[in-house]
Amino acid sequence: MTRRQVTRRTLLWAAIAQAAVLPGQAFGQQGADPASQEPTDMKIRIGFNGQTMTATLYDNPSARDFHALLPLDLTIDNYAGNEKIAYLPRKLTEQGSGPFGNERPGDLCYFAPWGNLALFYAGYSWSTGLIRLGRLDDGFEPLLTRGEFPLRIERIH
């Protein structure tokens, strides 16, 4: 075997190895920061009690996992005097977890320990297991309506 043949074989194996790694690298570039708070073009519509809100999801794995579940028909109810919650049919990936700041009403979050969405209409603080998925686009006033209601969440794009 000549040096030239070894070099070709080495190059061929290197190319095969690189091709196997590239899909993972491409996925990693779809939001390098697992807790990314950057908005995306993933828009959703949230409807209950004859009211509709829209939200923009963030660029993190948990938000993408949530978006892939849609459309969903759930039940929304009050919790803790500052949020409405709805239980998802399955748990989301927790790759989007990590501390975040600037918590405020209108945040759409996922609480991993219980597997529920949390739509905040009053002040709150980040806690372990809380993953921010996105933000309501036009305010949170419909969330102030007390009670339990059927909930529909669907993709806009």
- Percentage of residues in the chain with pLDDT exceeding 90? 69
d(CA 99, CA 87): 22
Top CATH class of 39-155 equals: mainly beta
Model confidence pLDDT, tens digit, residues 71-93: 999 999 999 999 999 999 999 99
Domain boundaries, the chain: 1-30, 39-155
Tokens 């996992």 belong to 65
Q: Is 1 helix (H, G, I), strand (E, B) or coil?
A: coil
Q: Residues 86-94: contacts with CB within 8 Å, 24+ apart? A: 86/116, 86/117, 86/119, 86/151, 87/114, 87/115, 87/116, 87/117, 88/115, 88/116, 88/117, 90/115, 91/115, 92/62, 92/65, 92/66, 92/131, 93/61, 93/62, 93/65, 94/62, 94/131
Structure tokens at 43: 């828009």
Model confidence pLDDT, tens digit, residues 117-136: 999 999 999 999 999 999 99
Q: How many CB atoms lie within 10 A of CB 62?
A: 24
Which pTM value belongs to this model? 0.77
